[in-house]
Amino acid sequence: MAAQQYAAQFPGDIFFVVDAYSDPDQELQLVEGNTLLAGGKFLAKCGLTYFPKVGWQCGDFAYYAARSALPNYDYYWMIEPDVRITYNDDGGFFRLFEATTADYLGSNFGRRPPSWGWHKSVARSVNGNVYGATFPISRSSARLLDFLTLRRAEYCQEYKYNPSDPKEFANDEAFFASFAVFGGFKCESVAKRHPQIMTHCSSAVPILEEEVPHLPGKVLHPVCRGARAKQKFRRMLRSSPKKLAQRMEEVMARFGEELWIESSGLTIDEVNLAASGSGLHKRLG
């Protein structure tokens, strides 16, 4: 984990926010020195909505928890546990951004079109000026978090979570970026500032643990193994078979066929068949 990687460089400044939202009696509590338990009482106090998987859909809630419990910082980095940063010089990645005063650094921050799945969840609130950024790694200023904590509570009052259509309720990607722009805050894209760093950072293309040492100078996401890797590769088989075929070739070129099959649960023929017939599948589907 990135936290373990940088513990020596930033002693006392690394904290883990643990999703305990399902516990209605759990307040915001700092335990074991660097672990923040954010529970149902914290959500209720802030006027934030609870629903199953809220921690996954609304990762921005963890930001608000950190700001509330740890108020003495000007900026906060949030890094998901399946991120790896492969800089050889300790702290080198973070030094790249020391000079920027941007309130929000989003992984792939930018304008989002009406066809984007989360567009409708915020469009009316921000006059159609919808932005987004995936959430594996980001930085926010304290003043932006203060602003967004209040705006998210207002949003939760106006919009109710609908389990039959979860995308009616803004996720972290849509809410954070769109309301930051709407509030007049300075926002930048990590990928645009340093594109070479973010070539292997996405939400859908898994990186195997075995690949990490071979990809220096990168932000890698999602790094996974076992059942989670198999699930993501299987999802790619359905949605992006040609891209999956490329990933298969990359893995096999470095580690061989056996590791690919073990890690993905997919045979070479299965992937190649899906890739070669992807155009037909899309027309028929």
pLDDT at 279 over 80: no
Task: For residues 176 and 144, give the distance between their C-alpha atoms in angstroms, rounded to a whole number.
Answer: 9
Tokens of 257: 């066929």
Residue pLDDT, tens place only, 135-175: 999 999 999 999 999 999 999 999 999 999 999 999 999 99
Residue pLDDT, tens place only, 228-257: 999 999 999 999 999 999 999 999 999 999
Give the pairing type, strands 35-39 and 16-20.
parallel
Tokens of 267: 């045979």
- Residue 265 gets the label, from left (phi > 0), alpha (psi -120 to 50) or beta, of left
pLDDT of residue 30: 94
pTM: 0.91
In order, the DSSP letters of 194-251 are: -TTTTTTB-SSS-EEGGGGGGSTT-EEB-EE-HHHHHHHHHHHHHH-HHHHHHHHHHH
Which residue ranges make up each domain of the chain?
2-193, 226-284
Question: What kind and span of H or E run contains 38?
Answer: strand 35-39
pLDDT of residue 273: 95
pLDDT of residue 277: 80
pLDDT of residue 9: 73
Tokens of 67: 């700001």
pLDDT of residue 285: 40
pLDDT of residue 4: 67
Determine the CATH number of domain 2-193: 3.90.550
User: Residue range 215-219: average pLDDT?
Assistant: 94
What is the amino acid identity at position 203?
S
Where does the pLDDT of residue 1 fall: very low under 50, low under 70, confident under 90, or very high at 90 and above? Answer: low
In order, the DSSP letters of 99-111 are: T---SEEETT-EE
Q: Confirm if 58 and 135 have CB atoms less than 8 A apart.
A: no
Q: Confirm if 242 and 275 have CB atoms less than 8 A apart.
A: yes
* CA dihedral over 188, 191, 192, 195, signed as positive or negative: positive
Q: Confirm if 139 and 105 have CB atoms less than 8 A apart.
A: yes
Q: Confirm if 138 and 105 have CB atoms less than 8 A apart.
A: yes
pLDDT of residue 10: 79
pLDDT at 11 over 60: yes
Residue pLDDT, tens place only, 77-112: 999 999 999 987 767 899 999 999 999 999 999 999
User: Residue range 206-215: average pLDDT?
Assistant: 96
Q: Distance of alpha carbon 150 from its chain centroid, rounded? A: 22
Tokens of 36: 């923040």
* CA dihedral over 163, 167, 169, 171, signed as positive or negative: positive
User: Percentage of residues in the chain with pLDDT exceeding 70?
Assistant: 94
Residue pLDDT, tens place only, 39-74: 999 999 999 999 999 999 999 999 999 999 999 999
pLDDT of residue 91: 75
Where does the pLDDT of residue 283 fall: very low under 50, low under 70, confident under 90, or very high at 90 and above? Answer: very low
User: Residue range 100-126: average pLDDT?
Assistant: 97
Task: For residues 174 and 116, give the distance between their C-alpha atoms in angstroms, rounded to a whole number.
Answer: 10
Tokens of 248: 């298969």
Q: Confirm if 66 and 76 have CB atoms less than 8 A apart.
A: yes
Tokens of 132: 């987004």
Residue pLDDT, tens place only, 129-143: 999 999 999 999 999
